[in-house]
Structure 1
Amino acid sequence: SKGLEYPFIFLVKTDIEFIPDNKMSIICSPENAVGFKLNYPETMTKIKTFPFEALYISNKEKKASEELRLLYVALTRAKQKLFVSMPLNDKSLNTLKNLSENLRKNNYDTKKTACTVNSLGEWIWITLLVHEKFSDIKQEICPELETNPLFSDDLFNISCFSESDIKHSDPDEIIKNADFAVNPETLENLRNIMKFSYDLSRSEIPSKMTVTQLISDEPEEEGVTLKVPQFMIEESQPATERGNAIHKFLQYCNFWSDADDTEDEIQSMIDRNYFTESEAELIPKELIKKFFKSGLCERIKSALSFERERSFEIQANELEYKNPEKSDFLNSDGMIIGVIDLLIHEPDGIVIVDYKSNRNTSEYYLRKKYSGQLEIYKSAVEKIYQKPVKETLIYSTELAKTISI
């Protein structure tokens, strides 16, 4: 940007070549002109057509013009000092020799020679080759170069450095021996900028977490770790499908159905496309009958209202929930996502119900494993509804029991 200025500017990688068009098979121009290379399969060669050559020259001039504008901006941004690094290697020496020869052929017409360049550095080399200060480094670079000094203004200095000079130099010593005035305030500001580092700790905190993720790292009870038997591994997938089927039934069933009509209720849900036949076979009918006969089902039917599958999103730092493993997230403005199986609205408060279909379980295990989950639900519901949660319950279909947490 032309408006930006800085105390010091470093212009580097000046030897990178402009991207050429001549390696392409087709060249286009903004004026809708097209140039092709012709293929000759017999000789396995490609020939540039006249339109191709004309467009190549035209496009190269336009690109060079744009690159020259960029170079101008780079050279005019420094308030105090501009540093331009020019690599010295075999490639750059060959470039210098070619530029020197072109200058000689063009009678040291720098404008004419400048039209043939392929990088920003070549424009700078052309300027140096016709400056009287170039004689200061000519012997170090290439004594046989032909030069013809055309101007001698004193706007810059030329210095040569080897790789070893740079590696073994002491920055503080260089500053002490510098031949230019150093602004202490600017120097201190630069040092502070170099020392600055962004606090990235917050970027490592997730923006969203589910309730399950939030409680997953809670410390587990110490004990003996047992290897999972092969038959349990094989049955894990059917167990998951069975649990999903039970949850879906409780999500859509008619709570006023009679326990003896359980099979009719399941068939009705199949007819309404809530289940497939294979999914319905996974539902344990006897356990569902026990649910319809339970005190929880009677409580649901006598409630003011109830909500099934109540989803919510709440800001983490609004919850009254503590988990040392997730303290960074809980203190952030990240969002917690959850779905509550059932909310029962009663005159004196709200009751939260979470269905669990775990097999081979116990009341102690369910309390231990899911108390944190119910605690999060309770805090979220009280924030959302601005009403007290009077109870948090787990209904275990396997135990056919309502467990107060």
Structure 2
Amino acid sequence: AELKDIVILLRTMSGWSDVFVNTLMQEGIPAYADTGTGYFQSVEIMTILNMIRIIDNPRQDIPFAGVLYSKLCGLTTDELTHIRLMDRNTSLYEASLIYENEGNNEELKNKLMDFLNMLHRLRDMMKYTPIHELIQEILDITGYAYYVMAMPGGDRRKANIDMLISLAVGFEKGSYSSLFHFIRYVEKLQKYDVDYGEASTSGEDENTVRVMSIHKSKGLEFPIVIVGGLNKQFNMQDQRSKIIFDVDYAIGPDYIDVENRTKIQTLLKKVIQKKTQIDNLGEELRVLYVAMTRAKEKLIMTGYLKSVEDLNIEKDFSFSTLISVKSYLELVLPAMNNAFTDYMRINLLRKEDIISGELTKQRFLQHDYKEIESEIASINRNEDIQKEIEKRLYYIYPHDDEAKLRVKLSVSELKKLGQFVDDEDSELLYEDISPELQENYLSENQYIPDFVKGPQAEMAGTDRGTLYHKVLELLDFSRLNNYDDLVGELNKMAQIGKIAKDDIGKLNIGNIFKFTQSDVAKRVIKAQEAGKLYKEKQFVIGLKASEVYPDQVSDELILVQGIIDVFFEEENELVLLDYKSDIVKDESQLID
């Protein structure tokens, strides 16, 4: 049998599934529970969140201690104690700085120096680096992603980290994109129990032990089924409420004697309690039946007994006996003691046996450690083996830089990389308009009524750019003889639903009109009349990596995609236009 053939069924996942999964993981057995919770409690996510907390503010003792103790730094509890004792009246961060300079343990001082240098470097990067890139930088510097991938369930742990990076990317699209606000955002998610659940990488062919609820296993079968937690008490909360509700008998309240200040259960409440008890027991029996019939080859049921005497308990399974049971174990054990179930075997595992088994395991581990240490000592004396180990451990992939290249980029992303500088390759297509025309046509958009302008709400830069591109794509420059023609064309666009009426008030119509009267616009009209004008055309072009990234010498192909706003043929040449709506002539515009 393989691990994927095993499933652990539980009556309830809350408070139980995490214990099973963590215990199996500690034993090196990959396990997964689809609970929809536990994401922020996973070790790898807590560690990275603690790291970004101290990058934002290192004077937080709990996150700082967590990171020092984690594999990001790798200190032991004794080493943490030595640091704390350097100065008990200051933060752990400041105590670490003191120990780095004045400590007496050279090995610990070197560890702290390396970690603090990394922390200070990341704090400097925080000022200009997006959050998701900062998290990726933490993983690259420390190699923590490789560490979690080497742990049991490494694929799922790595998927959890990838989900955190995706969460950071989504957060940065909002109004607040600082590291401080991201930390507050995560804390609010935890405060209000908004849990994403651990990332699921488990499929049908994944070789891992699955932990699921009995309800979720309905209709499924597995080669080996372990039904755990049989000793868990049934939920009697409904019967203990002050007021009980029932479909047939309505409401069962307590009787309160105000004069004597006493409270007793009414007869109706007792009837409803008994009915609820029978109904709940029937449901529990059905759930138990589902759990026991999921196994195709082997069924293992586990539970906890307070004393050995409870093992040989016998029951006649009368009605009065059945309705008094409080757990599955009280149903299963008497049935297994029946003569008709002699094919079922009971194994008793005492606490002493568990402790003895753990001690034996630890002895073997200590013996293994000694053998490994002696093996390492012999390897250190063999230069050939040592060189081969160093060659494998310190191997550097020769194309590592190329592996980090993006194979597809947009023109906007190229601009961010500094490949295009607008001021060098662009020109102002129109000068300030004459005072006469300004007075006659452009005086505060005098021909546009307020109901057409709409509310003058703030508009995002990307939305404004999209609106200008849409309008310029739809405009026929040859039909614009004056300002009124332009206003009329905009109104027509709004009437046929091409743009919203409110959007007209967000346009600088004066600038658009000035452009339509420029020399370039006349060339556009001429190309349109000749049938050689093209608008909003998509393109994909392949460039060498060395052309896109100046620091690269690779000839790997990088795809660049984008949309050409306007181009036209003129004298056997192509003329390209790229509309820009974010020009700034005065510093005061940026302040405003």
Aligning the two structures, in what range does the TM-score lie when normalised by the shorter sequence? 0.3 to 0.5
Q: TM-score, normalised by structure 2?
A: 0.34
- Bigger radius of gyration: 1
Q: Which has the higher contact order (CA 8 A, sep 6+)?
A: 2
TM-score (norm 1): 0.46
Q: Which has the higher helix share?
A: 2
